[in-house]
Structure 1
Amino acid sequence: MKDFKSILSDLDRRQFSPIYCLVGEKETFFVDLIAEKIEQSVLSEDEKAFNQSILYGKDVTIEDVIGQAKQYPMMAEHRVIIVREAQALLKDMDSLLSYIEQPQQNTVLVFCVKHKKMDGRNSVTKLLKKKDFYFETKPLYENQVSPWISETLSASGYSIAPKASEMLVEFLGNNLSLIYKELEKLRYVVPKGTRITPELIEENIGISKDFNSFELNKAIGIKDEVKAQQIAFYFAQNPKHHPLPLTVATLNSFFNKLLRYHALKDKSQQAASRALGVSPFFVKDYSFAAQKYSMKQASQAIALIREVDMKSKGVNSNQIPHGDLLKELLVNLMR
């Protein structure tokens, strides 16, 4: 089964498959990206009027789709049929078997299946996979998102500082659609060849370069209590973008990685980066923190963080404000 990079590469070389079944149960970004690429690149603007159809699964039948797919292009090499919301047709996909066996070679037929998963035991799914017509996208793990951001910007002639990338991940998580929209905004306002810095992120997207979870982890790691409490105050004033459960999860991840760093035999930058699943740029933060927190202290920190996590959910907290819970946690972590 091809990945999205090879599919996009084939499209750039005008090597088109007669069928693309694009499936995204939890992550739909690549489904939209590939479908849009096909919509924009296969036909010229003049050819689209007679040779490109956008259908919606809830409004058509499989027979309707096959009927359109079997038509020959008019004054063009290809005909493009894109079926959006194709998940509405899944129960009738068996009717597609004979067409998959012998597709119209001049047609590019695209099914966009979103928020559903095709049954791997189904004959249609098996045949689509066998013919290499099937692409299923899966969510990226959080430690994969920063490299994806760098690759995406690099392909457009930009680069990005590791901290700037982490700021986007912290603010937007692994929602690739949202991240891509913000990257598009940056590419619109800064010239090609620019290195995206935390300052540019703050100026154009509104994410603070000084008050974020990355900076909080860093301050805790070196036991800079003043900076950590300043960030905690900022979080308390901006709970929508910095909810306590998310901050607690980030702190828990930091100290879990610190425990793993302590246990490493090879603490070189590259080895630690691979073992921890972080950019080499951030390995130094764990190296510094390891000098401030022993393995026992890191374990105790995790216990404290889990206790606050329970309190943030109303267990034994007497409705203590989340800002106060975080400030108390920071004192207990660093003293």
Structure 2
Amino acid sequence: MTFEDILKSLKKKEYAPVYFLMGEESFFIDQITDYIIENALNESDKDFNQTILYGKDTDIGTIVTTARRFPMMAEKQLVVVREAQNIKNIDQLLSYIQNPLHSTILVINYKYKSLDKRKSFTKEVAKNGILFESKKIYENQVPDWIKNYTSKQGYQIDSKACFLLAEFLGNDLGKITNAIDKLTINTTEAKTISPGDIEKNIGISKDFNNFELQNALGKKDVFKANQIINYFATNEKNNPMVVTIALLHSYFSKVLKYYFIKNKTNDKMVASTLQINPYFVKDYKLAAKNYNPKKLVYIIALLREYDLKSKGIGDVSTKHGDLLKELIFKILH
């Protein structure tokens, strides 16, 4: 079942006897678990019928004994096992999984890794309960995810502001939702989150960031690019060179890829092929006019060279700010 499928069934009060929630992305695991804790039992029933266990402090025997208890003056009891990835031999729960007590809702949080789906234990979980794998979303999916989440909070987010958050926070959905929640609290007058709101509340400069550097390079705006690089050089801690190089490598690789798209007039096809938001297609088209394929291949090689230099390979003395200035000069000239 998908995350949406599980929430839909939970909202209908359709509870399975076992929820095994596993995978790299903790956000979806926490969302499902928190919803069950908040809604599965009445407040008056929670004192006697809700148990929270932690992987480091419990064992299989305790989990099974707790899960096999009958609820006290209620229809169901809830047993949540957090940090279950710390329990050795989790598959020793097999006997309970094969015959779970239907008056118990057992929720197991197994974060940052997944079970082997070929094993009988995993198959039994899927057969007798809900097996959910929470996967990291791809970085190119993050901007759309941010827009959708913000919309569900009753707000809109500017495309540039969306990109800034995605660039700054990556695909860590927990950090992203915390940032958006903070923004919605502090953005009361207008219902649209702007780059200015990002700068004011999150601390990301709306004028001097990798997104603006990317745009300046695409446009061959030498003055703006140098302004940003000088800012980065004086704020190296908040603008690590390794991140800038990684983003520029991705950007120029996509500009090069643009040359090989057959139907360049179809913006939707371009966006799909480059895995970008359609809003930014025009920027890639402009960059392709300013950099021919030969130059782009040269730039990608430069980025690899300076990535090694930033890690002390071939250059152990030059500051990152100065390396970045050299790199940008060679890209633009």
Q: Partner residue of 1:187?
A: 184
Q: Partner residue of 1:317?
A: 315
TM-score, scaled relative to structure 2: 0.94
SS of equivalent to 2:89: helix
1:249 offset after TM fit, Å?
A: 0.7
Is 1:252 the counterpart of 2:249 in the alignment? Answer: yes
Q: Partner residue of 1:50?
A: 48
Q: CA 1:123–1:90 in structure 2 vs 1: closer, same or farther (change >3 Å)? A: farther
The 5 Å alignment of 1:154-303 reads: 154-191=151-188, 194-267=191-264, 268-303=266-301
Gaps in structure 1 of 5+ consecutive residues: none
1:81 offset after TM fit, Å?
A: 0.6
1:11 offset after TM fit, Å?
A: 1.8
Q: 1:202·1:208 contact (CA, 8 Å) conserved in 2?
A: yes
Q: Which one-letter code corresponds to 1:269 in the other structure?
A: D
- The alignment covers a number of residue pairs equal to 332
Q: 1:18·1:108 contact (CA, 8 Å) conserved in 2?
A: yes
Measure the CA separation in 1 of the matches of 2:44 and 2:204. 42
Measure the CA separation in 1 of the matches of 2:102 and 2:189. 38
Q: Deviations over 1:225-260 (max 9, x none)?
A: 110011111111222221111101111111100011
1:192 offset after TM fit, Å?
A: 9.5
1:9 offset after TM fit, Å?
A: 2.1
SS of equivalent to 2:259: helix
Measure the CA separation in 1 of the matches of 2:46 and 2:176. 30
1:318 offset after TM fit, Å?
A: 4.6
Q: 2:18·2:107 contact (CA, 8 Å) conserved in 1?
A: yes
Q: Deviations over 1:237-285 (max 9, x none)?
A: 2222211111011111111000111111122221111111111111111
1:88 offset after TM fit, Å?
A: 2.8
1:141 offset after TM fit, Å?
A: 1.4
Measure the CA separation in 1 of the matches of 2:74 and 2:190. 37
Bigger shift: residues 125-134 or 51-60 = 125-134
TM-score, scaled relative to structure 1: 0.94
The 5 Å alignment of 1:8-157 reads: 8-24=7-23, 26-94=24-92, 96-131=93-128, 133-157=130-154
1:63 offset after TM fit, Å?
A: 2.5
Q: 1:166·1:214 contact (CA, 8 Å) conserved in 2?
A: yes
Gaps in structure 2 of 5+ consecutive residues: none
SS of equivalent to 1:10: helix
Q: Which one-letter code corresponds to 1:13 in the other structure?
A: K
Measure the CA separation in 1 of the matches of 2:59 and 2:325. 58
1:145 offset after TM fit, Å?
A: 1.2
Q: 1:62·1:93 contact (CA, 8 Å) conserved in 2?
A: no
1:93 offset after TM fit, Å?
A: 2.4
1:56 offset after TM fit, Å?
A: 1.2
Q: CA 1:153–1:193 in structure 2 vs 1: closer, same or farther (change >3 Å)? A: farther
Q: 2:17·2:129 contact (CA, 8 Å) conserved in 1?
A: no
Measure the CA separation in 1 of the matches of 2:25 and 2:252. 28
Measure the CA separation in 1 of the matches of 2:52 and 2:60. 14
Measure the CA separation in 1 of the matches of 2:22 and 2:197. 35
Q: Which one-letter code corresponds to 1:19 in the other structure?
A: V
